Structure 1
Amino acid sequence: MQRDPEDEVVDAVMSASRALLAVVARSLAAVDEDVTLPQYRALVVLAQHGPRRPVDLAEALAVTPSTATRMCDRLVARELAVRERVAEDRREVRVLLSDRGRDLVDEVTRRRRTELAGLLGALSAAQRSSVVQALRTFADAAGEVPEPDWAVVV
């Protein structure tokens, strides 16, 4: 029985996403065992897009505003993020990366890049080219900011 091509694509992405998540988890654990993956994702969103209102961060993370607010509380308590009042409207609060938060994102990114380079080094040049094209298309479809536009380049 022949498999549905859409199922094959989904299966391949599911397998790759598990491998990529494992790289992220290892890289994060090596830097800070107390930061959860959802908290790290919030830090990455702040690194990519700059200061955000908690409600906007909630939307970007696909969580409820109360969940994002609690996450921001934890990140601020750990000094990975700071809250600031908007000058034009003192009632409005935005969350942004602290220097410590930026350092964490940068170090995890460096570790991820190193591990991924090792994994990709096992592929032929043609295979790497195919991976680049497919993953750029996938990232664009997901609305991700291109890596050179925000991350540390080692």
Structure 2
Amino acid sequence: MERPPNLAAAIDAAAEALVNVLDSTASRHQVSVPPTQLRVLSLICARSETNVNRLAELLDVVPSSASRLCDRLEATGLLRRAADPRDRREVRLLPTAAGRQLLRELTERRQRAVQAVLDRMPARAQNDLLIGLMAFEQAAALASGEQQKDPTVRTA
């Protein structure tokens, strides 16, 4: 396959197709939690020591905005706040069992949707896609680490 003249645009279009496959699983199954709240819940599940200030940093928003997002998740029973056992002045954000279950179900649906597309691709193309995405992930992590070292650069 020949390299397209605008590689970034071609990758952006392909990534959009992947995002559409992933997003369609939530809309088809009437997930009642908005995408931003799902992202918050996912970040909190992945980081057990998260508090509102750390969440705000991860989302690149002010703490009051992060707190309001948490309020909504808490009202739906997907998140709870708890005093940090090491410092009772700190409040940790914790997913509830319902929150973890929602993310598990959504992850399973997303993986099935991706697998359905992969099944239409030749095995070699599947392998090439995986290798390329893994290399992209590593490069993005390196770029993120470099940006975090530079206090003038903010990441989303």
Query: Which bracket does the TM-score occupy, shorter chain normalised?
Result: 0.7 to 0.9
Give runs of ≥4 in structure 1 deviating > 4 Å: none
For structure 1, which runs of at least 5 residues remain unmatched after alignment?
144-154
Partner of 2:92: 94
Structure index of larger Rg: 2
Deviation at 1:120, TM superposition (A): 0.9
What does the per-residue CA deviation read over 1:96-129, in whole Å, with 9 as the maximum and x for residues that have no partner?
Answer: 1110000010000000000100101111111111
CA RMSD of aligned residues (A): 2.0
Q: Which of these residues, 119, 123, 126, is aligned with residue 125 of structure 1?
A: 123
Please give the alpha-carbon distance, in whole angstroms, between the structure 1 residues aligned to 2:18 and 2:133. 12
Please give the alpha-carbon distance, in whole angstroms, between the structure 1 residues aligned to 2:65 and 2:41. 15
Secondary structure of the equivalent of 2:88?
strand
Q: Which of these residues, 54, 57, 60, is aligned with residue 59 of structure 1?
A: 57
Q: TM-score under structure 1 normalisation? A: 0.80
Secondary structure of the equivalent of 1:63?
coil
Please give the alpha-carbon distance, in whole angstroms, between the structure 1 residues aligned to 2:30 and 2:75. 15
Q: Which of these residues, 33, 36, 41, is aligned with residue 35 of structure 1?
A: 33
Q: Which of these residues, 135, 138, 146, is aligned with residue 136 of structure 2?
A: 138
For structure 2, which runs of at least 5 residues remain unmatched after alignment?
142-156
Secondary structure of the equivalent of 2:92?
strand
How many residues align? The count is 139
Secondary structure of the equivalent of 1:108?
helix
Partner of 1:150: none
Q: Which of these residues, 72, 76, 101, is aligned with residue 78 of structure 1?
A: 76
Secondary structure of the equivalent of 2:121?
coil
Deviation at 1:31, TM superposition (A): 4.4
Q: TM-score under structure 2 normalisation? A: 0.79
Please give the alpha-carbon distance, in whole angstroms, between the structure 2 residues aligned to 1:31 and 1:45. 22
Partner of 1:15: 13
1:31, 1:107 within 8 Å by CA — same for their partners in 2? no
Letter in 2 for 1:61: L
1:31, 1:108 within 8 Å by CA — same for their partners in 2? no
Deviation at 1:32, TM superposition (A): 4.6
